[in-house]
């Protein structure tokens, strides 16, 4: 019997190679561009923070104690410059500008790439969305590490009898810090929460926000008050 040999044209191999390269690019390109974007974002953000002008008259703050301890979520030296608080009394939990350290900026969401797939995804979409989720998740605040690094600070709060919170959103992203504070102070500590509103509807939302926060921290509501900024 004779033998039949079939030779596939070289252009078919090139086509397959092109398809594989296209798939690899579609999988990797989003990750590459996101990494570049986040790197640029951090640089632009820190540049913006460094340019913030705090040359202003200090606002009179209710319950303000210059001799107290300060936990600042602010990246600027406002407390030092405007309120003459010694730096030794301030813990800049997410860093302070112009101190040769990267400022802590991030989120607490954990993305799953599969949640973003279309109903009939292309083969490259699985890897692409996994890569996207990986890069975005790398931008999470490592709050557990920050809390661990500040162990001595939390332990120093045992004699605190009053906690005043100015201008914080009380959002979940920083909740664990306040949980840590609540663990280290006595149950009868007095908590004061600032609120800001322009009308009765906004006031109701502010009060609801504070009540929700008090509930999450499992504080005694009788030890909690609000005040207006």
pLDDT tens-digit readout, 72-110: 999 999 999 999 999 999 999 999 998 887 888 877 777
**pLDDT over threshold 90, residue 24:** no
Q: Which residue has the tokens 């790439």?
A: 113
pTM summary value: 0.77
Q: Cα(110)–Cα(57) distance, rounded to whole angstroms?
A: 41
Confidence of residue 6 (pLDDT cuts 50, 70, 90): very low
Alpha helices in 51-191 (DSSP H): 78-82, 123-137, 143-149, 151-155, 175-184
Cα 40–45–46 angle (5° rounding)? 105
Closest CA to 229 of 144, 168, 139, 145: 168
| Helix, strand, or coil (residue 194) | strand
Given a cut of 90, is residue 111 above it in pLDDT?
no
Model pLDDT, residue 225: 97
| Spatial separation of the C-alpha atoms in residues 121 and 118, rounded to whole Å | 5
Q: Could you give the CA distance from residue 130 to residue 136 in angstroms, rounded to a whole number? A: 10
Q: Chain-wide mean pLDDT for the chain?
A: 86
- Contact present, 126 and 117 (Cβ < 8 Å): yes
């Amino acid at each position: 019997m004779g033998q039949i040999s079939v030779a596939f044209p070289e252009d078919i191999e090139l086509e397959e190679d092109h398809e594989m390269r296209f798939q690899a690019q579609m999988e990797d390109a989003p990750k590459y561009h996101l990494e570049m974007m986040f790197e640029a974002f951090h640089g632009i953000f820190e540049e913006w923070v460094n340019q913030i002008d705090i040359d202003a008259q200090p606002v009179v703050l209710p319950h303000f104690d210059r001799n107290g301890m300060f936990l600042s979520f602010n990246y600027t030296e406002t407390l030092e410059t405007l309120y003459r608080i010694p730096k030794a009394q301030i813990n800049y939990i997410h860093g302070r500008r112009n101190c040769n350290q990267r400022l802590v900026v991030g989120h607490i969401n954990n993305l799953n790439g599969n949640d973003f797939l279309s109903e009939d995804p292309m083969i490259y979409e699985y890897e692409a969305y996994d890569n996207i989720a990986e890069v975005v998740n790398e931008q999470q605040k490592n709050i557990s590490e920050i809390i661990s690094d500040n162990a001595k600070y939390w332990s120093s709060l045992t004699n605190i009898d009053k906690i005043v919170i100015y201008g914080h959103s009380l959002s979940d992203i920083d909740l664990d810090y306040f949980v840590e504070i609540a663990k280290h102070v006595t149950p009868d500590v007095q908590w004061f929460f600032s609120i800001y509103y322009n009308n009765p509807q906004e006031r109701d939302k502010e009060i609801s926000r504070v009540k929700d926060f008090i509930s999450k921290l499992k504080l005694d509501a009788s030890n909690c008050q609000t005040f207006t900024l």
